[in-house]
Amino acid sequence: MTDPQHTRQNPVTQHPTPEFPAQDQPHPGWTGPMDPPPDHGEESYRGAGRLTDRKIVITGGDSGIGRAVALAFAREGADVLFTHLQQEENEARETSRLVEDAGRKAVAVSCDIREEENCRALIERAVGEFGRIDVLVNNAAYQMSQPDGIEAIPTEQFDRVMRTNLYGMFWLTKFALPHIPEGGSIINSTSVQAYKPSPHLLDYAMTKGAIVTFTQGLAQMLAKRGIRVNAVAPGPVWTPLIPATLPDTVEFGKQSPLGRPAQPAELAPAYVYLASQEASFITAEILNATGGTPLP
């Protein structure tokens, strides 16, 4: 039987390429209606014990990149606590199933990380479940396309983007640090938008640039404590956020040099690597996964 994870393939044609069917969903978006369906590595990811008995916290783990990372971490031997929004219960159940099918513990927590006390309670829950946090993955994010310019961005939207993408990351990191042992790590999800901002995603791009700075500064702060801090900067990725927040999905990802968006499964190995002992000398790094778009 062919193992797609270890079989040489042309990256241009390995996964679906645009044009995609036109599709639109209400926020936060759902995996089920997407056409083509996202690939989280369900049939392809094979673990090798690289994260055996690690205790992981992932925000936004119900779908998309977060689900793929949770699945990969579990198949590498880790227990996973992940967050989701209340309306994402069905998505969260599927992520839990994938983790548990790998023989690992899954803890799904409905949590709005825009509130400081929610972040504090989340970390307390994780410590209660696991006793420690080996890896914190700050992945949850909010975006909403605003093609009519800065004048059309309501303060409510701006505040939600900032609090979800930055405040939550700051609070969770602050509260988690006392429970991260030497050899642990923090991995933040930034974006190609940090370096090549799209005008219609101005507020989102602002936060992704700030995440780069936060990652690099925090890495220097924590180096002597033996805690590594890195980030992954994806380009276009086929997740439920896309039909829920962007007006045109038909040609999504076509502008990348590979001519298509990434599937979530293609991002997960980057997180596994950064979390693993193989990356012991890697900190303050922004790992770009853009399909060929060069970044600084």
Q: Which residues are catalytic?
A: 204
CB–CB of 54/86 below 8 Å?
no
CB–CB of 136/82 below 8 Å?
no
Total residue length of the chain:
296
CB–CB of 278/222 below 8 Å?
no
Q: Interior CA angle at 60 toward 147 and 29, to 5°?
A: 50
Identity at 87, one-letter amino acid code? Q
Phi and psi angles of residue 161, each rounded to the nearest 5 degrees, phi first: -60, -45
CA distances from 82 to 43, 73, 153 (A): 21, 12, 30
Phi and psi angles of residue 183, each rounded to the nearest 5 degrees, phi first: 90, -5
- Measured distance CA(174)–CA(119) in Å, rounded: 10
272: left (phi over 0), alpha (psi -120 to 50) or beta: alpha
183: left (phi over 0), alpha (psi -120 to 50) or beta: left
- Measured distance CA(231)–CA(171) in Å, rounded: 17
